[in-house]
Structure formats: structure tokens, C-alpha cells
């Protein structure tokens, strides 16, 4: 195997807390979506009756249901805790304001507010930076990698989940420019990985159920379902969730699997909806399918004219998304170089929290966008007595709108605080944008009457929030980028709408343009396509905007890709992960397996000396994971994995030199499953000098029918086989069935279509 510098297999050093502070980080490993159909496996399958298979199928459904319920509950928990804690926070500020309004010391209230934010962010950041660095960010790049077949260490552990949930709560309450939606995807995935295995290594608890599912193939299927359930809970978009999982992960579309994924998604959004309705004392009101919803776009606002479509497309071509990615790329490189100690990371997060608070204050203070306080605007802070005004739709149930700010308190704040810098009977438009939760601001930008926002306010807000969000993404806090992106996009989209209306004298509903802008910005940043369209359509609740949203996302992707990759892909690339795209680069037909494969290959004999195996496994310079098994003269007869060899060595499945078998317990699949997925390193297995002379018979344990290709096969063809079947190793044979090479994920992920044709990525380069 071509040796790949080990350094690059360590996931994102900066974000992992640095090589120095976390030296025990295991290297990233790859998942094997292809079952190792060895004799043990086939025997088990052949023994199993039809009823047995049916029970397995029922278990799979049960697990998916459970994944949905737990994911929904986690989303619900985050939502409720954020609501409660934020309420206490605002209560405290409110009391402070009331106390100081008379004496004119309102700056003290502001400082109190800043200090509170600061503390929450600090707690969240310390949790992430010191206890579980992999819980930082939204987790979507990590889950994308997992579904692609690359396992980043500790990414689906219970501890990660706990830190992630606490971290998200802290960073949202801390007032950072973040959303709580992205991390739900990671949370769902962890739940799935845990539930499907029927045990937790963190809790040292093995329920002895679902043992059949303890292998990569099954686990990855469930993780797909978990990710989908997460999307579903975050955006109330079960179909979008399914498509997200498929788009990111499933190379092989399986009907039953997709159906189960959909089931998990449905259950997840239903659970969230149901429990939120209980917590809002409105049991059975199923109007909160996700953590965010965009409010109802009414039909009369929805129609667009044909001539607007080019305008939408033009908005999609605004490269603010790519600019965001560009800035974040350099910021991330800076962080990897200089901010890799946990304490530095915590300090940076606190700095961002402080800056966010200060900038908000400055903006509000210097803003002179005072809007008259009439009944229409008052509706933004709805009191239940207000009926929905004319074509301003009832955005959602009132209890939802008041998620963060109970209305009495809000009214007070509003009158005594936000109005402060404005005349009586007016309020500060900038303050309403900054002091709302991002979710609420997005909805206001979509639905508020034309004229609510001053263009200058929107412009300044866009610029400020853009830089804040860009700085925030990549901090050592758990937080998502979806909501900030939507907010930035909605702001400049609304600006476009206002500008168009004034310039071209056409009537343009600014809310509509806000939606398009949000789609353009989000699409420009994350570059998701099909699933994002469906997520946005489901969150909008109306299919009419499907076509424009799709065209905008398409434009944003095409234009954005010209300048910079998507944000997740940037982060994946910075971690040197061998990520396989959908197809081989278009112009790679001239490459054949001969050029691509790693060779020579370390092969093992079917009956091999234990010493040789130990030596091969201990060779840190190669660190291979799969070994073709051969019979002389080097004819391929199987493939065995490092993990299998480790289990064999651990159980000392040796044949004595003389040929007589030791009295040993026959190894069963259960032994492999018990060791899954944390196989011990070879260094921890002691093999005595005597044992080194024994032989091991691999016949029973190797996969006797690995997929093979010949050396003349073109790269696209190998790529297709590899990707479609989710392989980890593909053996290359010559015309006499002799092993001549091995194709692994890294061999294929190297090739990349750059601006100057096919490029070979140096996965070994930082």
C-alpha cells in the first residue's frame, strides 16, 4: 500500500484540541459497507430461519422508531431548556431595567446582559474544548464523512452527544450568531449509533440485544436514519431528512432502508411536535413540526411572475455565500495553526461572545431607524387579542412566537428599553432585528409588511451579522450555520426586494425576496442541492416556491463552486479526509487501475505464521487494514481485515506447528461482534515467542469472495464499483488470478477535477 503520512489521518488537529493535548486520538478509520461473507457469517445466515429474518426486520423497524422518538425528545429538550433559561435571563434583565429606568443607568443593564451571554458561551466552550472537541460545530461534516464511509474517532459516542446538547444550549442562550438546527443532525446520528448497538461503551452497559447489528453495514444504515431524524426534527422536514441522508450517504438505494429512514424521520418530527404541544399547554396542536418553521406563506403572497425568475436566478448568483466560505477557510487555517490549545479556543469563543454583544449595542445605539409604533408593528410582538391583520398571516401559534420571550416581559422590554433611543410612540428597528432570536428574526424578515425595515438598517445588519456568523463558525462551541445563513440571506434578500420595488417600480413583495435571498445564501454556503430544496419547501409549507428555490440553489451552487467549495467540503478537506464523491472526475478515463492501485500488496498466506501476522499488523509505517489472502503462487483466495486478525490473535486461534489443533473454543461471530467497533490495537495483544511460531488458519474467517477487478479497468469503472457497493478494499488481479494490487478509498479520493483538468490531491499535505 502506498504509505500515507499518518499525520493527515488525524482529524483536524486544531479543532480536535491539538495533537499535543490529545495525543491518544486514534487515527480515522474507514467503514466497510460490504459484508465480510466468511464461513462463520454464511453459516449463521444459513442456520437462520425465515422467522429469524422477519424478527430482524421487525427489530430494525423498532430501532428506527426508537431513534425517531429519542431524537425528537432531544430536540424537544433543547427547545424547552433554551426557552426556560432564556426566560430567566430576560427576567433578570427586565428587573434590572425596571430598577434602572428611573435613575438612568441603563448601560448597567447592557453590561449585565453582556456578562450573562459571556458566561454561557464560556461554559459551552469549555465543555467542547476540554471534554469533547469533536462536538464542536454543527457536526454535519463529520456525519457526511461517516455516511461516506470515513469514521472520525469518537464521533458517534454518547459522551459526544451529551456535550453537544449542553454546548448547543449554552451557545444559543449565549446570544452567538448560531442556530440549534445543524447539531440536531449529529445528535440524531449518535442516538442511532447507540440505540442500534444495544450497548454503550461510555456507560459500560451492554443490553445484549441487537447483536446482529454490530457491524459497519448495519450501523451505517441506522446512522443514516438518525441523521434523517435529526434533519426532520430540526426543520420539520421528514422528506428533506430522507433526502439528506440519501444525498450524503447512501450509495446503494435500498427501498426498505429508505422506508425505515422515512419512518424514523416521521416519528421524530411527530414526537417533537407532540411534546412541544404539551409543553405549550396546547396538547395535540401539531403546528410545530420542527425547531424552526418559516411561518405560513399565504397563497396571495406566493405567486411570482415569469419575469421574476431571472431576478431570482440573479440573486442566486450573488456570491456572498462563496465569500463567507472564503473568509471562513482562511480563518480555519489560522485557527489550525495558532488556536489549537483548548484554553485559547475558549478564550476565542468568549471574545466572539463579547464582540457580538458590543457590536449589537453599537449598532442599536447609532442606528436612527425609528419606526412608528402602530398596531401593525405591535403585531410583531403579538398579544393574543390582536386578530391577524389583513394579508399579514398568522405566522404560527402564538406560543411558538413567544418561544424565548414571554409577551408581558417582552412588551416591557420593548417599551422601556428598545424604544430608548427613539422618540415616544416609535421603536428601534435595528434593535428588533438584533434582540430577537435568529429564528424569530428570519420569520419577521419573511413575513413583515413592506416598509417595516429601513434599507440602511438591513444593509448594516447584513454586513455585521455576516462577519459575526463567519467568525463564529468553527469556534469550539456546538452550533449550526443554517440559521445565521438564512438570516443573512433574508436580510439582503429583503433589501433586494425593497431596492427592486423602488428602482424598477414593480411591486415586489420583500418577504418573497427575503425567502429567495435566504435560499441563495444558505445554498451558497452549504451547497446542498436536492435535500436543501425539499427542506426549504417543507419548512415553507408550500410547494409553489419549489421551482424558484430550486433554480436559486442551483445557481448558487454553480456560481459558488466556481470560486470556492462548500463550507462542509472545505472543513472536510482541511481535515485531509479521503472523501469519495459521487462519480470519478469526468476526464479520468485515461487512468486505469494499474496507475491508481497501491502495490505491492502485503498478502498473507491462507495458513500463515502468527509471527508474520503480528509483524505485519505492527508495521506502523504502512498501517494496513485489509490483506488479500493467497495460496501459492500468490493466487487470490480471500480477503481478511485487520480487525478480524486482531480478534483471532486475541483469542489465540492458533494451529500448532506440528499440525495438531490446540484445544480451543471455536470462535464465533459473537466474538467479533463483542469486539466491534473498538478493536484493541495490536500493541495491546501479547504474543509470546512460542506462539509466534504457531500457524493460523485464516480459511474460516477471511472473506472468500472479495470483489475483484483487473488492471485494465478504467478509473471511472473502478470508482463506480467501489462507490456503489461501499467497499473499503478492492483487490486487483491479473489474468491468472494473482494479486497485483489493492485499491482503497485513498487511492480513489486522490483524484480531483480542478480548474486545470485532473489534479492529484496530496492527501498527505496539510
Q: Please, which of residues 122-151 interact with a second copy by CB under 8 A? A: none
704 touches a second copy by CB under 8 A: yes
Asked whether 153 and 132 are in contact (CB, 8 A), the reply is no
* Residue among 755, 381, 338, 337 nearest 585 (CA): 755
226 versus 249: smaller Cβ distance to a second copy: 249
Asked whether 227 and 147 are in contact (CB, 8 A), the reply is yes
Show contacts with a second copy in window 230-249 (CB under 8 A). Answer: 236, 238-239, 242-243, 246-247
Rounded to 5 degrees, φ, ψ at 738 are: -95, 140
117 versus 273: smaller Cβ distance to a second copy: 273
Asked whether 731 and 580 are in contact (CB, 8 A), the reply is no
- The nearest distance, CB 713 to a second copy, in angstroms, is 4
- The nearest distance, CB 721 to a second copy, in angstroms, is 7
H or E element at residue 673: helix 669-675
User: With CB under 8 A as the contact rule, which of the stretches 345-353, 537-545, 616-624, 646-654 interacts with a second copy?
Assistant: 537-545
User: With CB under 8 A as the contact rule, which of the stretches 82-90, 221-229, 255-263, 324-332 interacts with a second copy?
Assistant: 255-263
392 touches a second copy by CB under 8 A: no
- The nearest distance, CB 308 to a second copy, in angstroms, is 10
C-alpha cell of residue 405: 420571550
C-alpha cell of residue 221: 444504515
* Residue among 711, 717, 712, 710 nearest 584 (CA): 717
DSSP lists the bridge partners of residue 744 as 729
Rounded to 5 degrees, φ, ψ at 528 are: -80, 155
583 versus 595: smaller Cβ distance to a second copy: 583
Interacting residue with a second copy among 49, 281, 384, 505 (CB under 8 A): 49
92 touches a second copy by CB under 8 A: no
Interacting residue with a second copy among 424, 505, 663, 735 (CB under 8 A): 735
CA 704, CA 693: separation in Å to the nearest integer? 25
- The nearest distance, CB 13 to a second copy, in angstroms, is 30
Interacting residue with a second copy among 62, 108, 203, 286 (CB under 8 A): 286
Question: 470-481 burial by CB neighbour count: b if 16+ within 10 A, else e?
Answer: bbbbbbbbbbbb
300 versus 424: smaller Cβ distance to a second copy: 300
**DSSP per-residue codes, 195-212:** HHHTEETTTTEE----GG
- The nearest distance, CB 543 to a second copy, in angstroms, is 6
305 touches a second copy by CB under 8 A: yes
Within a 10 A sphere around the Cβ of 109, how many other Cβ atoms?
22
699 touches a second copy by CB under 8 A: no
Through-space distance between the first and last CA atoms of the chain, rounded to whole angstroms: 20
CA distances from 17 to 23, 136, 138, 180 (A): 10, 10, 16, 23
Show contacts with a second copy in window 19-38 (CB under 8 A). Answer: 35, 37
CA 95, CA 719: separation in Å to the nearest integer? 64
217 touches a second copy by CB under 8 A: no
CA distances from 260 to 66, 220, 242, 254, 434 (A): 11, 13, 10, 10, 41
CA 223, CA 194: separation in Å to the nearest integer? 9
- The nearest distance, CB 153 to a second copy, in angstroms, is 27
3-state class (DSSP) for residue 701: coil
250 touches a second copy by CB under 8 A: yes
CA 519, CA 496: separation in Å to the nearest integer? 14
User: With CB under 8 A as the contact rule, which of the stretches 297-305, 329-337, 443-451, 649-657 interacts with a second copy?
Assistant: 297-305
690 versus 712: smaller Cβ distance to a second copy: 712
561 touches a second copy by CB under 8 A: no
Rounded to 5 degrees, φ, ψ at 514 are: -60, -40
347 versus 547: smaller Cβ distance to a second copy: 547
User: With CB under 8 A as the contact rule, which of the stretches 278-286, 398-406, 492-500, 743-751 interacts with a second copy?
Assistant: 278-286
CA distances from 516 to 489, 503, 717 (A): 8, 19, 39
Beta strand pairing status for 751-754 and 739-744? unpaired
410 versus 534: smaller Cβ distance to a second copy: 534
- The nearest distance, CB 735 to a second copy, in angstroms, is 5
322 touches a second copy by CB under 8 A: no
- The nearest distance, CB 327 to a second copy, in angstroms, is 27
C-alpha cell of residue 77: 429538550
* Residue among 575, 566, 120 nearest 332 (CA): 575
554 touches a second copy by CB under 8 A: yes
Show contacts with a second copy in window 598-657 (CB under 8 A). Answer: 635-637
Asked whether 729 and 744 are in contact (CB, 8 A), the reply is yes
User: With CB under 8 A as the contact rule, which of the stretches 109-117, 379-387, 531-539, 565-573 interacts with a second copy?
Assistant: 531-539
Beta strand pairing status for 729-733 and 708-710? parallel
302 touches a second copy by CB under 8 A: yes
- The nearest distance, CB 53 to a second copy, in angstroms, is 4
432 versus 540: smaller Cβ distance to a second copy: 540
720 touches a second copy by CB under 8 A: yes
550 touches a second copy by CB under 8 A: yes
Interacting residue with a second copy among 303, 362, 408, 766 (CB under 8 A): 303
27 versus 541: smaller Cβ distance to a second copy: 541
529 touches a second copy by CB under 8 A: yes
- The nearest distance, CB 386 to a second copy, in angstroms, is 19
Show contacts with a second copy in window 587-606 (CB under 8 A). Answer: 587, 589-590
- The nearest distance, CB 265 to a second copy, in angstroms, is 9
Query: ∠ at Cα 271 (266, 272), nearest 5°?
Result: 105
User: With CB under 8 A as the contact rule, which of the stretches 181-189, 518-526, 612-620, 729-737 interacts with a second copy?
Assistant: 729-737
Size of the site for a second copy (CB under 8 A): 85
3-state class (DSSP) for residue 341: coil
707 touches a second copy by CB under 8 A: yes
CA 419, CA 430: separation in Å to the nearest integer? 11
Query: Which letter does DSSP use for residue 683 in this model?
Result: G
Amino acid at each position: 500500500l502506498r504509505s500515507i503520512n499518518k499525520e493527515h489521518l488525524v482529524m483536524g488537529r486544531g479543532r480536535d484540541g491539538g495533537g499535543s493535548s490529545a495525543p491518544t486520538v486514534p487515527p480515522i478509520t474507514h467503514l466497510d459497507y460490504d459484508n465480510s461473507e466468511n464461513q462463520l457469517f454464511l453459516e449463521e445466515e444459513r442456520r437462520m430461519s425465515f422467522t429469524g429474518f422477519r424478527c430482524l426486520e421487525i427489530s430494525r423497524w423498532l430501532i428506527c422508531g426508537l431513534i425517531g422518538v429519542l431524537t425528537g425528545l432531544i430536540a424537544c429538550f433543547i427547545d424547552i431548556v433554551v426557552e426556560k433559561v432564556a426566560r430567566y435571563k430576560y427576567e433578570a434583565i427586565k428587573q434590572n431595567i425596571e430598577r434602572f429606568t428611573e435613575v438612568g443607568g441603563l448601560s448597567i443593564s447592557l453590561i449585565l446582559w453582556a456578562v450573562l451571554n459571556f458566561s454561557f458561551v464560556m461554559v459551552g466552550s469549555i465543555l467542547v474544548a476540554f471534554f469533547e472537541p469533536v462536538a464542536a460545530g454543527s457536526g454535519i461534516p463529520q456525519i457526511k464523512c461517516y455516511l461516506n464511509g470515513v469514521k472520525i474517532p469518537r464521533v458517534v459516542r454518547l459522551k459526544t452527544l451529551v456535550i453537544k446538547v449542553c454546548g448547543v444550549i449554552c451557545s444559543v442562550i449565549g446570544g452567538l450568531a448560531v442556530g440549534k438546527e445543524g447539531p440536531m443532525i449529529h445528535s440524531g446520528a449518535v442516538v442511532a449509533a447507540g440505540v442500534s448497538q444495544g450497548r454503550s461503551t461510555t456507560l459500560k452497559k451492554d443490553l445484549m440485544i441487537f447483536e446482529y447489528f454490530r457491524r459497519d453495514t448495519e450501523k451505517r444504515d441506522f446512522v443514516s436514519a438518525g441523521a434523517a431524524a435529526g434533519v426532520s426534527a430540526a426543520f420539520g422536514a421528514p422528506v428533506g431528512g430522507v433526502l439528506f441522508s440519501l444525498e450524503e450517504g447512501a450509495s446503494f438505494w435500498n427501498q426498505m432502508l429508505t422506508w425505515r429512514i422515512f419512518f424514523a424521520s416521521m416519528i421524530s418530527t411527530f414526537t417533537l411536535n407532540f411534546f412541544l404541544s404539551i409543553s405549550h399547554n396546547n396538547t395535540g396542536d401539531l403546528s410545530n413540526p420542527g425547531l424552526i418553521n418559516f411561518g405560513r406563506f399565504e397563497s396571495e403572497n406566493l405567486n411570482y411572475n415569469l419575469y421574476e425568475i431571472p431576478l431570482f436566478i440573479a440573486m442566486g448568483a450573488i456570491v456572498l455565500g462563496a465569500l463567507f466560505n472564503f473568509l471562513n477557510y482562511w480563518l480555519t487555517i489560522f485557527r489550525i495553526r495558532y488556536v489549537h490549545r483548548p484554553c485559547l479556543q475558549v478564550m476565542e469563543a468568549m471574545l466572539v461572545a463579547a464582540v457580538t454583544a458590543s457590536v449589537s449595542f453599537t449598532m442599536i445605539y447609532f442606528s436612527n431607524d425609528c419606526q412608528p409604533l402602530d398596531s401593525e408593528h405591535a403585531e410583531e410582538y403579538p398579544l393574543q387579542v390582536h386578530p391577524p391583520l389583513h394579508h399579514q398571516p398568522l405566522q404560527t401559534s402564538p406560543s411558538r412566537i413567544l418561544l424565548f420571550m414571554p409577551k408581558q416581559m417582552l412588551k416591557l422590554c420593548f417599551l422601556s428599553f428598545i424604544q430608548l433611543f427613539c422618540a415616544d410612540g416609535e421603536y428601534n428597528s435595528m434593535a428588533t432585528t438584533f434582540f430577537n432570536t435568529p429564528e424569530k428574526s428570519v420569520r419577521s424578515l419573511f413575513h413583515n409588511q413592506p416598509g417595516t425595515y429601513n434599507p440602511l438598517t438591513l444593509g448594516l445588519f447584513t454586513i455585521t451579522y455576516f462577519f459575526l456568523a463567519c467568525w463564529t463558525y468553527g469556534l469550539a462551541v456546538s452550533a449550526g450555520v443554517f440559521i445565521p445563513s438564512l438570516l443573512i440571506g433574508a436580510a439582503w434578500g429583503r433589501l433586494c426586494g425593497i431596492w427592486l420595488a423602488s428602482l424598477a417600480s414593480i411591486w415586489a413583495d420583500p418577504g418573497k425576496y427575503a425567502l429567495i435571498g435566504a435560499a441563495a445564501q444558505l445554498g451558497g454556503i452549504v451547497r446542498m442541492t436536492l435535500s436543501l430544496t425539499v427542506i426549504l419547501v417543507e419548512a415553507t409549507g408550500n410547494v409553489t416556491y419549489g421551482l424558484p428555490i430550486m433554480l436559486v440553489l442551483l445557481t448558487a451552487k454553480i456560481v459558488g463552486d466556481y470560486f470556492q467549495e462548500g463550507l462542509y467540503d472545505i472543513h472536510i478537506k482541511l481535515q485531509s479526509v479521503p472523501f469519495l464523491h459521487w462519480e470519478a472526475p469526468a476526464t479520468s478515463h485515461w487512468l486505469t487501475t494499474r496507475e491508481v492501485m497501491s502495490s505491492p500488496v502485503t498478502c498473507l498466506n491462507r495458513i500463515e505464521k502468527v509471527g508474520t501476522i503480528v509483524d505485519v499488523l505492527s508495521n506502523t509505517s504502512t498501517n494496513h487494514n485489509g490483506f488479500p489472502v493467497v495460496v501459492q503462487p500468490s493466487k487470490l483466495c480471500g480477503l481478511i481485515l485487520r480487525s478480524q486478525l486482531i480478534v483471532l490473535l486475541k483469542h489465540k486461534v492458533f494451529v500448532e506447528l506440528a499440525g495438531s489443533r490446540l484445544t480451543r473454543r471455536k470462535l464465533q461471530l459473537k466474538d467479533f461482534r463483542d469486539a466491534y467497533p473498538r478493536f484493541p490495537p495490536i500493541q495491546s495483544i501479547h504474543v509470546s515467542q512460542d506462539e509466534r511460531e504457531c500457524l493460523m488458519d485464516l480459511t474460516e474467517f477471511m472473506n472468500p469472495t472479495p470483489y475483484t477487478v483487473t488492471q485494465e479497468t478504467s478509473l471511472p469503472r473502478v470508482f463506480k464499483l467501489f462507490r456503489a457497493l461501499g467497499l473499503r478494499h478492492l483487490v486487483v488481479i491479473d489474468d491468472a488470478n494473482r494479486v497485483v494490487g489493492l485499491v482503497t478509498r485513498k487511492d480513489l479520493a486522490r483524484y480531483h477535477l480542478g480548474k486545470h483538468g485532473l489534479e492529484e490531491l496530496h492527501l498527505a499535505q496539510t
